Amino acid sequence: GAGVSQSPSNKVTEKGKDVELRCDPISGHTALYWYRQSLGQGLEFLIYFQGNSAPDKSGLPSDRFSAERTGGSVSTLTIQRTQQEDSAVYLCASSLGTSGGQNEQFFGPGTRLTVL
């Protein structure tokens, strides 16, 4: 079956430009997460969606970062006025739910963002 897909796979942008990253979760998964992995670091939580609502945005590093989810499915992560420190791999994950055994999160391949 189809897994989590993300686009683009790679994005190179100039400092100060805006970027949009897209995530298509596994069909039927109500929970959706965004993480990022900077060079040499572990994965860092950014935001969590349950359906179209985002009850936990605590990981977004600044107000330049925003995300939305529509139709309980596709999500976009937008970074405005990109900075070099935004360079990282941005990973999306989805899960059936959020309790116990439903919390196995399935990850997409990621979008590698490079800000020049």
The Cα-based distances of 50 to 30, 54, 61, 78 in angstroms read: 6, 6, 20, 18
| Rounded distance between C-alpha atoms, residue 32 and residue 6, angstroms | 13
Q: Is 7 in the site for other proteins (CB under 8 A)?
A: no
Q: Which of 81, 78, 64 has its CA nearest to residue 16?
A: 81
Q: Is 30 in the site for other proteins (CB under 8 A)?
A: no
Indicate the residue among 18 and 68 with the shorter CB distance to other proteins: 68
| Residue 31 contacts residue 54 (beta carbons within 8 Å) | no
Smallest gap from Cβ 115 to other proteins, in A, equals 19
- Name residues contacting other proteins, limited to 70-109 (CB under 8 A): 91, 93, 95, 98-101, 103-109
Q: Where are the beta strands (DSSP E) in 65-110?
A: 65-69, 75-79, 88-95, 106-107
Indicate the residue among 1 and 101 with the shorter CB distance to other proteins: 101
Smallest gap from Cβ 36 to other proteins, in A, equals 11
Smallest gap from Cβ 110 to other proteins, in A, equals 5
- The alpha carbon of 97 is separated from its chain's Cα centroid by a whole number of angstroms, namely 17
Question: By the criterion CB under 8 A, which residues form the site for other proteins?
Answer: 4, 31, 33, 35, 40-45, 48, 50, 55-56, 59, 91, 93, 95, 98-101, 103-110
